[in-house]
Amino acid sequence: MKPYISATVFSQRETVREHFLIVLKVPAFFRESLPGQFVMVRMKNCSHPFLSRPFSIYSVYSHGKNTFMEILYKVVGKGTETFSRLRKGDVLNILGPLGKGFDLPLECNKIVLIAGGVGIAPLSFLAERCEKDINSAEMICYMGAGSLEALVGMDRMDGICSVVKISTDDGSWGHSGPVTELFGRDMELYADNDSRIYSCGPNPMLRSLHELLKDRPVACQVSLEERMACGIGACLGCVVKTKSGDEGGGLVRVCKEGPVFDINSVEFSEHNG
Ligand SMILES: Cc1cc2nc3c(=O)[nH]c(=O)nc-3n(C[C@H](O)[C@H](O)[C@H](O)COP(=O)(O)OP(=O)(O)OC[C@H]3O[C@@H](n4cnc5c(N)ncnc54)[C@H](O)[C@@H]3O)c2cc1C
Ligand code: FES
């Protein structure tokens, strides 16, 4: 079993309301992280596994001899509120990189990214990796948020994607309504055989996307955000039902077999959302 390691806070700032970007100094092996993988984070000297919180890796980069990892997160409860008060030089314990990341879209012409809120984090990492390794495909991003004030991660996607389309629930920016509705209008632009779709966001959003795509053979992977306690497959707290899972009669652990799954393999109607 991998041990938790210490990571020093290099910087932290609020990007948009209640959303924070924390930069951690991490060991060099984090450079092997794949888009869609995550880390478990807990306060230093905390030995209680149930007080760890999972976060997608937003980015990993090197500067000189140092390696840095970024996490983009929204304050929703006690753990994230505590993290938001960390300052440069504070130390956290982290475990990772964990889980199965996205399959890189090696042969396709269009890469479509659909994000709900802070679900942009793993998709942004994927977009960065695609920009570096797969320069022939066009990248299109659909981003949804509650309101313009809560729209997070747009600057980075603007710099990478050829098109960024926005929706907000309150209509304060872009399309007024769910991001899946915005994507649904354009869906026919993406041919099944030369497009790859990737999505991350709240489960109801992923369920709507599943409804939209269920009769199409287009490749679509989603990253699920189940609640997690251990992050390493031991507690079974993150189990979801899949249609095609061959372990445990269709029950799979999001932290171990996921968090990335083929959208058609997830049983959205029964367990998720
Ligand atoms: C693989 C993975 C990657 C994630 N990546 C990110 C990320 O990059 N950025 C980010 O902001 N968040 C991410 N999350 C969600 C994040 O882990 C939770 O927001 C965090 O654990 C909440 O901790 P808390 O102590 O602040 O909230 P708590 O006090 O534990 O809960 C506060 C409220 O948030 C709800 N909640 C807590 N966890 C989740 C969850 N996983 N899904 C839905 N609702 C939840 C609770 O039901 C409750 O209503 C990810 C989750 C997973 C599983
Ligand atoms: S969080 Fe413990 S098994 Fe997945």
Q: Is residue 273 part of a domain?
A: no
Query: Got the DSSP string for 28-62?
Result: GGGGG--TT-EEEEEETT---GGG-EEEE--EEEE
Query: Got the DSSP string for 136-167?
Result: TSEEEEEEEESSGGG--SHHHHHHH-SEEEEE
The structure's pTM equals 0.94
Task: Calculate how far, in angstroms, residue 77's C-alpha sits from the geometric centre of ligand 1.
Answer: 8
Q: Is residue 200 part of a domain?
A: no
Report the CATH number that the domain containing residue 46 is assigned in CATH.
2.40.30.10
Residue 52 lies in domain:
5-98
Provide the pLDDT for residue 244. 60
Q: Is residue 92 part of a domain?
A: yes
Distance CA 113, CA 222 (A): 10
Task: Calculate how far, in angstroms, residue 228's C-alpha sits from the geometric centre of ligand 1.
Answer: 8
Distance CA 178, CA 252 (A): 28
Which ligand minimizes its atom distance to the CA of 117? 1
Exposure b/e, 209-231, CB count within 10 A at least 16 = b: bbebbeebebbbbbbbbbebbbb
Alpha carbon nearest to ligand 1 atom 36, residue: 227
Q: Is residue 94 part of a domain?
A: yes
Name the residue of 41, 203, 225 to mutate for ligand 1: max ligand atoms within 8 A of Cβ: 225
Provide the pLDDT for residue 270. 47
Is the shortest distance between the CB of 251 and ligand 2 below 6 Å? no
Provide the pLDDT for residue 248. 46
Provide the pLDDT for residue 256. 95
Q: What domain count does the chain have?
A: 1
Provide the pLDDT for residue 216. 86
Alpha carbon nearest to ligand 1 atom 21, residue: 53
Task: Calculate how far, in angstroms, residue 134's C-alpha sits from the geometric centre of ligand 1.
Answer: 31
Ligand 1 atom closest to the CA of 202, numbered from 1: 43
Residues of the chain under the 50 pLDDT cut: 245, 248, 270-271, 273
Is the shortest distance between the CB of 238 and ligand 2 below 6 Å? yes
Q: Is residue 121 part of a domain?
A: no
Q: Is residue 232 part of a domain?
A: no
Q: Is residue 202 part of a domain?
A: no
Q: Is residue 167 part of a domain?
A: no
